[in-house]
Amino acid sequence: MARSRASILDACAEVLAEEGFSGVTIEAVAARSGAAKTTIYRHWDSREALMIEAFGACSGPPGPPPATGSVREDVRAVLTGLAAKLNESDWRATMCSLLDAASRDEGLARLHVATVAERRRPLTDALERGIASGELPADLDVEQAVAMIAGPLFYRAMVSREPLDAEFIDAVVTGTLPAPRAAGDRGTSSPDGG
């Protein structure tokens, strides 16, 4: 039973990577996995439920949160992990397909929102640790910072189709994170609020 379920998920993930979300049908997954359609429907009550689980399985969980003691190094580590996923052509193609399908399907829109929330958590946590340690300004807008830090990677991977390498990641970290605060300035402010 577990082996049959795993082979169906694998087959669905392959179809997702090759055809996108719009190309996934129960018939295509059945043909690729060798499982009967009735077996698939016994495990998943809809095509969307199967796609959501298959996407989660092929995406894998985000890596463990880095804790280097430096917000810049933590952010660099998070971006390196994200770049590795975006450099995988199958994962990148599946993400592009999810973005497209989410605009037309409520269930896939929920998957998209959940995927974004899960994938940005390590970056959000790193920035919040930087605020707590005084490395970053206390008034930093974390949600805006996440968009500005991660956005260039998605643009480069999905729009300009350029490779994501360490040099680019360094440029993003340098260009988007506020300048490091001197140890004596952390947690202190001048009388005028500066």
Prediction pTM value: 0.76
Domains and CATH numbers, the chain: 2-58 (1.10.10.60), 61-181 (1.10.357.10)
- Is residue 50 predicted with pLDDT exceeding 60? yes
Of 31-35, 62-66, 99-103, 188-192, give the lowest mean pLDDT range: 188-192
Whether the CB-CB separation of 176 and 148 falls below 8 Å is answered with yes
Query: Are 71 and 129 contacting, i.e. CB atoms less than 8 angstroms apart?
Result: yes
Q: If you count them, how many residues does the chain have?
A: 194
| Dihedral (CA of 37, 96, 18, 55) sign | negative
pLDDT averaged over every residue in the chain:
85
User: pLDDT band at residue 183, thresholds of 50, 70 and 90?
Assistant: low
- Tens digits of per-residue pLDDT, 71-119? 999 999 999 999 998 998 888 888 888 888 888 888 788 878 887 888 8
pLDDT band at 193 (very low <50, low <70, confident <90, very high): very low
Q: What mean pLDDT do residues 13-21 have? A: 87
d(CA 186, CA 58): 42
Query: Which is it for the CA torsion 158, 161, 163, 166, positive or negative?
Result: negative
Nearest to 124 by CA among 101, 149, 107: 149
CA angle 61, 65, 136 (to 5 degrees): 135
* Residue scoring higher pLDDT (187 or 132): 132
Instruction: Say if residue 169's pLDDT is above 60.
Output: yes
Confidence at residue 181, expressed as pLDDT on a 0 to 100 scale: 59
